[in-house]
Amino acid sequence: MRLLNNIKTGVLLAFMMGLFNQCPLASDPRGPAWLEQGIEAGKDLGADVLLIAFFGKGSLKSGQGVKTADVDVVVERLKAAAPKAKQAGVILGIENTLSAEDNLKILDRVGYDSVRIYYDCYNLAGQGYDVPAEIRLLKNKIASFHFKNGKDYLETGKVKWDPIVAAMNDIGYEGWIVLETSSPSKDRIADARRNADYIRKLFGVKA
C-alpha cells in the first residue's frame, strides 16, 4: 500500500546478506561471488533491495574515520557488481556506521545508482550523527529506512521521529520503511500493530 506522501508500507520483498558481518566483503575472497549470487536470488524473487551489511568484523569505521584499505576493496567489488544489480532491477543497499559524508564519497567512487544507502535511524543516531541533517544530505541516495527504537516502542524510545519524518518529506522519499522493532509487551502482533499505527500517525495517514 502506498501512503499519501508516497512512503510505502506493507510487505517488502528484500533480504539481507548478514554473512558479510563475519566474512567481510573487504577481505573474504568469496565476497564477489556471494554478491553475484545474491543479485541473482534477488532477481528471481523480484526483490527491491539487497541489504549489504558492514558491521562486526566487516565494519568500515575506524575511530572517527574509515578503514581506507577496506573501503578501497569494497568500492571495487561494489563497482563490479553494480551493473549486474542494475540489469537485475535490484538495489544494493549498503548499511554501515559511517557518516553521510563518508558514504557519499563511497557512492561517488562506485558511480552506479544501483548502489545506495540503507539508512538505520536508530543505529546512526547512536553514533552521534544528526540524523535529519544526514537524510537531507543523502537525499535520493537512500534505498530504504530501518525504523526502531531499541527495546522500546517507536514513540517511547530515545530517537525522536518528528524531525526525521520532516527530513524524509523534504527529500521526497518514496521508498520503504522497514520495522526492526522489538516487542516490549512480548505480544509481537500487538506491538507491531502499535508501531505501525504510530508511523501512520507520523505521516498523517489513516489506517
| Domain containing residue 179: CATH number | 3.20.20.150
Tell me what pLDDT residue 206 has: 75
In a domain, 158, yes or no: yes
Q: Give residue-wise pLDDT tens across range 98-122.
A: 999 999 999 999 999 999 999 999 9
Domains in the chain: how many in total?
1
In a domain, 9, yes or no: no
In a domain, 19, yes or no: yes
Is 70 exceeded by the pLDDT of residue 12?
Answer: no
Tell me what pLDDT residue 7 has: 42
| Residue for grid cell 534477488 | 42
In a domain, 109, yes or no: yes
Distances (CA, A) of 131 to 25, 33, 97, 167: 26, 33, 12, 9
In a domain, 1, yes or no: no
Those residues whose C-beta lies under 8 Å from the C-beta of residue 160, and which sit 6 or more positions away, are: none
Identify the residue with better confidence: 48 or 26.
26
Tell me what pLDDT residue 35 has: 95
In a domain, 3, yes or no: no
C-alpha to C-alpha distance for 158 and 30, rounded to whole angstroms: 39
Is 60 exceeded by the pLDDT of residue 86?
Answer: yes
Is 90 exceeded by the pLDDT of residue 173?
Answer: yes
> pTM for the complete prediction?
0.90
Residue 25 binned pLDDT confidence (cut-offs 50, 70, 90) = very high
Cell of residue 186, nine digits: 512480548
Region 21-28 average pLDDT: 95
Tell me what pLDDT residue 17 has: 84
62: phi then psi, degrees, rounded to nearest 5: -130, 105
Is 90 exceeded by the pLDDT of residue 57?
Answer: yes
Tell me what pLDDT residue 74 has: 98
In a domain, 74, yes or no: yes
In a domain, 6, yes or no: no
Q: Which domain holds residue 174?
A: 14-202
The mean of the pLDDT values for the chain is 91
